[in-house]
Structure formats: C-alpha cells, structure tokens
Chain A
Amino acid sequence: MKESDEIESRLAALRPIDPSLDRDALMYRAGYAAGRTTAMPSRVFRTGQAAALAVAAAATVLLLRVPPEPARPDPAPVASQASIIDQDPLARWLERPAMTRPESLPPEAVIGQSSDRITARTLLDQLLSESITLNPSGDKA
C-alpha cells in the first residue's frame, strides 16, 4: 500500500505540458459557436416543425387517396297511404265518415280478412247498437 502511494505521488508530481493552443483564437471560436447556437432555432423546435410537416403531408396523401363514396341504391318505393287504404277493405271502411249505420258495417267476410281485428269488430258493433238505442232523435230509435 505504501508502495502504491509512492507510485501515485511520483506520478502526480509529473505535470503534463500544456497544449499549444492560441488562447485568443480559441476564445473567439468559442464565442462565435455560442452566438451561432443562440441564433439558430433549437433542435426541439426544428423537430416539431418537421413533425408538423410530415403530419400535414400524410393527411394530404390520405385525403387524395380516399375513394369517393359509392352511389346508394334508391330506397324501395314506399306504398302510399292511399294505396294501403285501397287494398285493405277494413281500412277502407274505417276511413268512412265516423257516424255510420249498422248496415254500413263491413261484412264478416271482409272482417275475416283482418283476423286480428275481430275483437275490434265486436266492440264496434256493441258501441253502435248502444248509440242507436240511446239516441232518441235517431232514425232507428
């Protein structure tokens, strides 16, 4: 250990020669480099600019490459309300004036075509009979 210390102290006693540099020239160059760096935009700023340009270019390319939307086929023609009324006898009957006579009720055969409305037919019959009975000025009363 003592020997190591001796070696270290002997080596440390040696002084390397100074570099043969022109101090003024070096300081001038250093100042010039510092000023140049200040004048230039930072790397982060330049990177941001480059990224923005890349994104803009990519967006433009994508915009140009998107195919036009294909023409949609015309929707199936929807049957008009008038045609539905013409085709359905029960609907045709319901479109008649509200106050009807019993004989104007649709025949059973017509009602039968609309099986889901049998209950409605029965109710309607009852209502009409009652209204005729309760109406003193009615023709049938």
Chain B
Amino acid sequence: MPRPDHKLIAGLLDRHGGALALYASQWTSEPDDCVQEALVELASQRTTPRSPVAWVYCVVKRRAMNAARAGRRRRNREQEAFRRRLLDRQGPVDPSSNAALVDAVSQLDPIHREAIVLRLWGGLTLAEISEATGVATSTAARRYEAGISALREQWSSSSTHSENA
C-alpha cells in the first residue's frame, strides 16, 4: 500500500470532518483537536491503512478518550457538545422535534450511540464499524439495532405524551 497522500487527508476532512468531530464529542469537549491530530497521524503513516476511514475513526476515538482522561471531562459537558454539533446546523425537519431526537441520542448507552454515529453520520459500513470499534461485525450490527430500538421506544413514548397533552 502506498503512503497516505494529501488527497486522502483532504478527502477525509471534507467528507468525514463533521462526523469525526461529532464522534469525538462523545468523549471530549475538544473534538476538533482530536480530528486534526488523527489526520496528521494518518499522514505520518508509512503505508495507507486497509480502511483509512475506519482507521481515522479509531484514532479519533482513542485520542478523544485520552483527552477526556487527561482533562477529567464531565459527562454533561460531553453530552452538551454532542447536542450542539447536531443542532447548530438545522436540517429540514422541525427543530423542536430534532432537539428531542438528539436528546434521546445523546442519552443513549455510549456503545449504542457510537454505532449510530458511525453508521448514520459517518456513513460507515458495518464492517468498517467493526474495524473502527474493534468488535465483530455481528456485534456492531447488534449495537446499532439496539440503539435504534431504544430510540424508537423513546420516540413512541414521547409521541404518546405529546398527543395526550
């Protein structure tokens, strides 16, 4: 495999920058630094990893967790950073319902939320998720499904509440 070139680095930044920062924000309140350091680390590799996308997500996670350990971040701050990253740029859906959905995602079990972030916003395949998180593909699929199920339950209960109100 050739060395990672500047096109690969720039492409990863363009296509996955937001998702990488969102991914890192699960553990640290300074996700941008983690993304930057991970991309620089990729550039210093002698050979391109088999799956550069999964590799970068894996390194971002490691750096984010190290940063969190070093800074003793609080979980609330991380959840807030995660929410802001998704809500500051509004989608086509109603902002208020988005906020409720993002709240639900931010309160998910971390391993379920991790799989959802990688799949939905990172656009990774299940194989890439398994490589990035270091688990079997079946485990990655199970985590993703479990996260979606938990969101569906919360969504159903919140919809019932809003209808009753």
Query: What chain B residues lie within 8 Å of A30 (beta carbons)?
Result: 6, 9, 39-40, 42-43
Find out whether the CB atom of B120 lies under 8 angstroms from the CB atom of A8.
yes
Binds B, one of A16-24, A78-86, A99-107, A113-121: A16-24
Find out whether the CB atom of A3 lies under 8 angstroms from the CB atom of B155.
yes
Output the nearest chain A residue to B105 by Cβ-Cβ distance: A11
Binds B, one of A33-41, A52-60, A63-71: A33-41
A-B contact count (CB 8 A): 106
The count of chain A contact residues (Cβ–Cβ below 8 Å) is: 28
B107 within 8 A of A: no
Query: What chain A residues lie within 8 Å of B84 (beta carbons)?
Result: 17
Find out whether the CB atom of A16 lies under 8 angstroms from the CB atom of B19.
yes
Query: What chain B residues lie within 8 Å of A21 (beta carbons)?
Result: 13, 17, 32, 35-36
Expressed in whole angstroms, the Cα–Cα distance for A137 and B20 within the complex equals 128
Q: A31-B43, A34-B43 are in contact. Are A17 and B6 (CB under 8 A)?
A: no
B44 within 8 A of A: yes
Find out whether the CB atom of A15 lies under 8 angstroms from the CB atom of B89.
yes
Given contacts A10-B101, A21-B36, A38-B3, 18 further A-B contacts (CB under 8 A): A7-B101, A10-B98, A14-B89, A15-B121, A16-B18, A16-B21, A19-B21, A19-B36, A21-B17, A21-B35, A26-B13, A26-B40, A30-B43, A31-B6, A31-B43, A34-B44, A36-B44, A37-B44
Q: A7-B152, A19-B35 are in contact. Are A12 and B120 (CB under 8 A)?
A: yes
- Listed by A's residue number, 24 A-B pairs whose Cβ atoms lie within 8 Å are A3-B152, A3-B156, A4-B152, A7-B101, A10-B98, A10-B101, A11-B105, A13-B92, A15-B91, A16-B18, A16-B19, A16-B89, A17-B18, A18-B18, A21-B35, A23-B10, A23-B13, A26-B39, A27-B6, A30-B40, A31-B6, A33-B44, A34-B44, A37-B46
B126 to chain A, nearest CB (A): 14
The count of chain B contact residues (Cβ–Cβ below 8 Å) is: 47
Determine which of B9, B43, B86, B149 lies in contact with A16 in the assembled complex, contact meaning CB atoms within 8 Å: B86
Expressed in whole angstroms, the Cα–Cα distance for A15 and B17 within the complex equals 11
Find out whether the CB atom of A19 lies under 8 angstroms from the CB atom of B17.
yes
A87 within 8 A of B: no
